[in-house]
Amino acid sequence: MAKKRKGKQKVRASFRKRQNTRVRKTDFTREFKDDAQSLENEQTGERVSGKGSLTRKRTIIGASADTPDAGFEVELDVNESSSIAGRALRVHGLNSFVLGDDGRIYTCTVRGILKSLATDLQHVVVAGDHVMVAKGSESGDDDQGVIIRVEPRRNQISRTSRKRQQILVANVDLALIVASAAEPGLKPNLIDRFLISAEQAEIKPVVIINKVDLVDAANLQPVVGVWAQLGYRVILTSTVTGHGIDELRDLVAGKDCVVAGQSGVGKSSILNAIEPGLELRVSKVSTENQKGRHTTTTAQLIPLGDPPGSGGHLVDTPGIRSMALWDIIPEEVAGLFPDIRPFINDCKFPNCEHTHEEDCAVKWAVADGKLDARRYESYCYIREGDGV
Ligand SMILES: Nc1nc2c(ncn2[C@@H]2O[C@H](COP(=O)(O)OP(=O)(O)OP(=O)(O)O)[C@@H](O)[C@H]2O)c(=O)[nH]1
Ligand SMILES: [Mg+2]
Ligand SMILES: [Zn+2]
């Protein structure tokens, strides 16, 4: 395919100087070379790297010329006549399915240079990504394309999976953290982990407790009340009785929302209830689920409305058994707990870990009943269990 050079697009990228000592496989601060190829390489690598609250400033934001750090310009060759903007719906193996701005779905591979940057990432492209696609393939198939650029992410939820960063979803407004009151039973510590992840990503979380038809809702109050007091919205739902579904539908209208949670809690069932006609696969909770056979196997962005996406998007995700946080340093953990945060300045030692110290205001708060003991337990697990 002949390459036209008329549609050049300028991207201003600014890089923050490295401040912490964390070692990544690629040193992005090494000198930048002049040729556009290597600049693009550096830029994309930086952009797809981890994004904890200490590191997010490194994210490249197109045309953010007013960043105090010295910026520089990168010229990316984008052949506008044969490329199209779109949104990644789903990534399956080597293929990414992209909804183009023209309303068509393209089956795409990913440009080699983007893939070679994925040093600590499981996937380069994730559901929810805004991408540029070069249309067409060598065989002339017009439903195919190549993802040539992944736009900077507004936000992303990541976890650590097999020592690598797994980005679960990108560019969402709301994280619906789904748990079930029974079958499987409520695991408050896992919900806390999701809440911390959402705090870390600066994505507003909402806690959904599904299958309330199976329990006496009054029994949920003690644990649910703690989250509600923290200002987290909690919605009790049942896809069997329809309880809470209208409230949820109103909440997600026009937004981009991800549903996340353990397998079998009813994530896909909830999406089916919100949007009749979706018909996502759901299946019985069985011992197979416990072994990791999930009904939903890949994250999927579902555009709502007509034209698709005009009514917002929902992202269904596979069940997650563990939520090990990615790119978090020990000192950050307490700050991500809104209920622990107010006490940390009163600790005797500025580097207090709030675990073994004697003079610890956080531990006093637990003893005085000002801080929920179960939440404090979650804090201790996260601080220890994630190897931070
Ligand atoms: N009693 C009851 N069962 C429900 C409810 N919602 C879903 N279920 C059942 O729970 C089982 C699991 O539902 P799914 O929607 O497949 O769960 P999921 O969270 O999407 O599971 P994965 O895709 O494996 O992550 C199915 O048998 C559903 O019929 C509910 O509100 N009450
Ligand atoms: Mg599912
Ligand atoms: Zn302390």
Residue 32 has pLDDT above 80, yes or no: no
Residue 312 has pLDDT above 60, yes or no: yes
CA of 199 to the centre of ligand 2 (A): 24
Name the residue of 282, 290, 322 whose CB sits within 8 Å of the most ligand 1 atoms, as the mutation to test its pocket.
Answer: 282
Domain 330-385 has CATH 1.10.10.10: no
* Ligand closest to the CA atom of residue 262: 1
Q: Which of 3-7, 64-68, 203-207, 265-269 has the lowest mean pLDDT?
A: 64-68
Which residues 6+ apart lie within 8 Å of 237 measured at CB? 208, 209, 210, 212, 243, 244, 245, 248, 270, 273
DSSP E strands: which ranges in 184-248?
204-210, 233-236
Name the residue of 213, 259, 269, 322 whose CB sits within 8 Å of the most ligand 1 atoms, as the mutation to test its pocket.
Answer: 269
And the tokens for 86? Answer: 């779109």
Q: pLDDT tens for residues 220-277?
A: 999 999 999 999 999 999 999 999 999 999 999 999 999 999 999 999 999 999 998 8
CA of 177 to the centre of ligand 3 (A): 29
Q: Whose CA is nearest to atom 6 of ligand 1?
A: 266
Query: What number does the ligand 1 atom closest to the CA of 289 have?
Result: 24
- Distance, in Å, from the CA atom of 315 to the CA atom of 302, rounded to the nearest integer, reads 6
> Which pLDDT does position 19 carry in this prediction?
36
CA of 264 to the centre of ligand 1 (A): 5
Residue 33 has pLDDT above 50, yes or no: no
Q: pLDDT tens for residues 184-212?
A: 999 999 999 999 989 989 999 999 999 99
> Which pLDDT does position 79 carry in this prediction?
60
Band (386; pLDDT cuts 50, 70, 90): low
Of 3.10.20.30, 3.40.50.300, 3.90.1150.10, 3.40.1170.10, the CATH number of 172-316 is 3.40.50.300
Q: What is the torsion angle, in degrees rounded to the nearest 10, for the CA atoms of residue 146, residue 52, residue 270 and residue 377?
A: 150
Q: pLDDT tens for residues 90-112?
A: 998 889 999 999 999 999 999 87
**Extents of the domains making up the chain:** 8-77, 172-316, 330-385
Identical topology for domains 172-316 and 330-385: no
CA of 240 to the centre of ligand 2 (A): 16
Residue 39 has pLDDT above 50, yes or no: no
> Which pLDDT does position 139 carry in this prediction?
65
Q: Which of 46-60, 208-222, 294-308 has the lowest mean pLDDT?
A: 46-60
Please, what is the Cα angle at 245 between 239 and 248, to 5 degrees?
135
Evaluated on CA atoms 224, 321, 319, 238, the torsion sign reads negative
> Which pLDDT does position 281 carry in this prediction?
83
CA 385 to chain centroid, in Å, comes to: 20
- Distance, in Å, from the CA atom of 303 to the CA atom of 313, rounded to the nearest integer, reads 4
- Distance, in Å, from the CA atom of 379 to the CA atom of 56, rounded to the nearest integer, reads 23
Q: Can you tell me which residue has the tokens 């408050």?
A: 188
* Ligand closest to the CA atom of residue 290: 1
